A = this chain, B = another copy of it.
Amino acid sequence: MQKPIRGWFQPAPSSCPVRDRGIRLRTVCEECSGNPQCGQLTLQKRTPLYLEQDPATHVFAVVQGYLRETRTMSDGRVQSLRLVGPGELGGVEALLDRNYYTALEALTEAVVCRVSAETVRDTLRTRVDQPLAMVTELIAELDAVRESLHWVGTLDAEERVLAMLARLSGDTGRGVEFKLPLTRLEISELLGLAHETVSRVIQGLARRGTIRVRGRQITFL
């Protein structure tokens, strides 16, 4: 069920659960490389990995679960910037060697690889084969954020909720039930909607037979 981690580094030389679950490239994870057990971080729900303005020291690759990036405005409003799922990167601004400008927090129980920015920088400096892969990664991220922007700009409430449900369903097919890992409130914050609207849209889709809903169990029909 785990997705491969998109990474910018070479295959791990020794046993590593991350690689063993099918990834092409390994991340230079402090835990992975120093430890034969490849002890990634396991996070409980609601655990923050870092807060806005924290000194930016590490980059994270999500192995399992969902995190979210948020930013707080001067007036206290919180905006969820994006959902970070399996195989995606968080905190790349650490490579700029300054403070994080977003907060990153686990929404579900999650497993992440933690890589120090220093390690990444060293690797970029010394390994000829890595920079292009890293650049490719970042451009893919850029693509993803633009995609979100496109969504927020043009899609109405129902389209956005459908897109989110599709993403959260992963590779679950039609007719197969899956469990929503997020609450209506969390979904609404990520989509820039009110939670009541998310609820109404989901009920509406159910009434029209697009999906079947049993609490947090959803089936596409």
For chain A, what secondary structure do more than half of its interface residues adopt (helix, strand, loop), or is it mixed?
A: helix
Whether, in the assembled complex, A168 has its beta carbon less than 8 Å from a beta carbon of chain B, the answer is: no
Residues of B within 8 A of A31 (CB): none
Q: Which of A75-116 contact B (CB under 8 A)?
A: 77, 79-82, 92-93, 95-96, 101-102
Whether, in the assembled complex, A135 has its beta carbon less than 8 Å from a beta carbon of chain B, the answer is: yes
- In the assembled complex, the Cα of A46 lies from the Cα of B12 at a distance in Å of 50
Report if A125-B124 is in contact (Cβ < 8 Å); known contacts: A142-B138, A146-B81: no
Residues of B within 8 A of A139 (CB): 92-93, 95-96, 138
For A152, give the chain B residue with the smallest CB separation. B152
B124 and A154 contact, CB distance less than 8 A: no
Residues of B within 8 A of A24 (CB): none
The proximity string for A residues 135-161 relative to B, scoring 1 for CB distances below 8 Å and 0 otherwise, is 110111111011011101110000000
A154 and B92 contact, CB distance less than 8 A: no
Whether, in the assembled complex, A212 has its beta carbon less than 8 Å from a beta carbon of chain B, the answer is: no
Taking the closest CB of chain B, its distance from the CB of A28, in whole angstroms, is: 15
With A79-B154, A125-B128 known, 19 other A-B pairs at CB within 8 A are: A71-B146, A71-B150, A79-B150, A81-B146, A81-B153, A82-B149, A92-B142, A93-B143, A96-B139, A101-B143, A102-B146, A124-B132, A124-B135, A125-B131, A138-B139, A141-B142, A142-B142, A149-B152, A152-B153
